[in-house]
Structure 1
Amino acid sequence: MTSPLGERAPAIRRIREYAQHGPWTARQDGPVRFLGVAFCWTVTIPAVIALRVAEWPFLRPSRFIFTAITVKCLSELPFVEAFVDTVIKPGVERALWLFL
Structure 2
Amino acid sequence: MSTTIWIILAAAVATYLTRIGGHLVMSRFERIHPRVEAGLNAVPAAVLTTLVAPEMLHAGPAEWLAIAVAALVALRGGLMAMFLAGAVVLIVARQFMG
TM-score interval (norm. to shorter): 0.3 to 0.5
Higher relative contact order (CA 8 A, sep 6+): 2
Q: Give the structure with the higher percent helix.
A: 2
TM, length-normalised to structure 2: 0.33
